[in-house]
Amino acid sequence: MPPKKPHHQKASKTKACYNCHRKRLRCDKSLPACLKCSINGEECLGYGIVLRWAALETPIDDNVDPLPRAPDDNPDPSSQIIKRPVNLIKIPLTDPLLNGLSTKARWYMHHFATIVCRDLVSIDQKERNPFRAIIPLVRKFDYLQSVVLATAAMHLSTIHKYQGRSLPSESALVDALMLKSRALHLLRAAINDNTLTDKAMILSAIVFLVNLDLIDSGRGGWKAHVEAARRLISSLYLTKAHLDGAIAPLVNAIAADCLTYRIYGSTISGNTSSWSDNTIDDGVVLPYILQNAEAYSYHCAPPAILQIILSASQLCSGSSTTPETDGGAGRIVTAAALLHKARNFDVQTWVYNIKGLPPDDDLEARVSVASAHRAAACLFVLLSVPEAGLLDIPLLEPKDLVQEILGHLSCIPDNHVHLKGTVWPTFVVGAETDDLNERAWCLERLVAVWTKNPWTYPWGYVHTAMEMLQEIWRLKDLAAQQGDDGINWLQRLKATGNSCLIV
């Protein structure tokens, strides 16, 4: 069920916040933190009296006008769901980010910086969040600005939509679609720019188009965007040139997201033969890119497991095969090797050796999420190559894997920050189980991604996953009533040519 509509806090009607008041800056007076403080990487000290010991204050001009605040039909969700201010990357006051933007565009940019960037990582490390590095770049690249604003507008639209607020939802949705159209037009004009930085920024914009689709529903044109981004990744990572050190973490995170979307997209979508690319999937480039973003990826899935999932996708009927996997016997041998590799992967060692995690990260929760992905990958291999089920491999019966996945998922509280990384294994195990209680539990967990997190996670692909699960259950139950208990939901789903992205 959608979350209850929270009370909207209006901006302060009295004085500016303490920081802006002291520095004689214009304050937008929004709650819980003013926009100017957030953008400058400062902790907003609020609008009350701040007591300090022996501090000489700069004279304050009470007549300074505030920045225009967001219109009432676009309330800031951060006032509803953020408990404390979020420190952002610092932007020099001599080159303010918001100059030249309309009131609504400023609001979308603020929403992107404070809310959307937080959704894109496993745990928000504030100034170390690589996606916030994109914010200063929007002034230089107009297509990047358009797609960032479109992403924020779509994000706000889905928040309002599932809170039952139709008018704000429609307004933000119209803005998102117009900004997306403008971004595509500008990208076409920039596509021939050949410098390394230009290619990196175009890649960033294209992958954010995928994010835009995921926030909407995950049913749109993400596949074409992923394919275009893959080609740029090949161009960027297979040359000897090096990216500017300031944007390298951003590009690494963007590229890793793109390849992760490609891998998950191959699991339930139709024919993916056009995605074959040995220049990336050669066991060197792909893991290198994924490993660079291990500390940031919100999926919390080991790169080795993601590679197994991709290999299993290529074994499915209708997708491309390699000479080693031609023929039934070859597919079974390859599937057995993938299962063996997955079962022998040491999840705990991998988690405890990830570089760049904050000291307060919950490593045991990461172990549970990664273990759920490992078991779900094994189940996915068996569904992709049903003949592999004839092999006598201990603890690799589908029913055993279902219980293993559910066990790992149950170790993650339903209000935990890493819950958003469990959508794919929850979908896979939910589609496989025939137990009504287990189905209901999986559905509740997907609902919890939205409603029980400390913040709202308004990504439409989660609702699409819930709709697809219920349709799979309907088909399986109908087949069971007709005496067919052995339906392979994955094979049937891929045969329909479905083009949904569940991550």
Q: Is the pLDDT of residue 117 over 60?
A: yes
For the segment 376-403, the average pLDDT, to the nearest whole number, is: 84
pLDDT average, residue stretch 409-424: 95
Instruction: Tell me: pLDDT of 287 over 60.
Output: yes
Best mean pLDDT range from 27-41, 341-355, 440-454: 341-355
Q: Cβ atoms within 10 A of the Cβ of 371, count?
A: 23
Average pLDDT of the segment spanning 59-79: 33
pLDDT tier for residue 68 given thresholds of 50, 70 and 90: very low
pLDDT, tens only, 162-187: 766 666 668 899 999 999 999 999 99
Q: Give the per-residue SS3 of 4-27.
A: CCCCCCCCCCCCCCHHHHHHCCCC
pLDDT at 244: 72
pLDDT band at 495 (very low <50, low <70, confident <90, very high): confident
pLDDT band at 285; cut points 50, 70, 90 = confident
Confidence of residue 230 (pLDDT cuts 50, 70, 90): confident
pLDDT for position 395: 60
- Give the pLDDT confidence score for residue 483 in this predicted structure: 82
How confident is the model over 81-116, as pLDDT tens digits? 333 333 333 333 333 566 778 888 888 998 999 899
pLDDT at residue 173 in the model: 92
| SS3 labels along 77-144 | CHHHHCCCCCCCCCCCCCCCCCCCCCHHHHHHHHHHHHHHHHHCCCCCCHHHCHHHHHCHHHHCCHHH
Q: How confident is the model at residue 280 (pLDDT cuts 50, 70, 90)?
A: low
Q: Give the per-residue pLDDT at 4.
A: 42
- Asked if 459 and 214 count as a contact pair (C-beta separation under 8 A), the reply is yes
pLDDT of residue 322: 44
Higher-pLDDT residue of 70, 492: 492
Position 33 pLDDT exceeds 90: no
User: What is the pLDDT at residue 75?
Assistant: 38
How many CB atoms sit inside 10 A of residue 271's CB? 15
| Three-state DSSP state, 218 | coil
* Contact criterion met (CB below 8 Å) for 419 and 449: yes
Give residue 279's pLDDT.
59
- Domains by residue range for the chain, with CATH: 12-47 (4.10.240.10), 102-317+325-494 (no CATH)
Total count of residues recorded for the chain: 503
Q: Which has more confidence, 292 or 70?
A: 292
Global model pTM greater than 0.85? no
For residues 364 and 349, is the Cβ–Cβ distance under 8 A? no
Higher pLDDT, 245 or 340: 340
Q: Let me know: does 64 contact 26? Beta carbons within 8 Å.
A: yes
Which range has the worst mean pLDDT, 59-63, 292-296, 398-402? 59-63
Question: 137-151, 285-299, 306-320 — which is least confidently predicted?
Answer: 306-320
- Residue 15 pLDDT exceeds 80: no
Predicted pLDDT at 403: 96
What share of the chain has pLDDT > 70, as a percent?
A: 76
Cα distances from 265 to residues 226, 259, 268, 368, 495, in angstroms, run 9, 10, 6, 23, 14
The mean pLDDT value of the chain amounts to 80
Q: Poorest-confidence range of 289-298, 388-397, 492-501? A: 388-397
Mean pLDDT of 470-487: 88
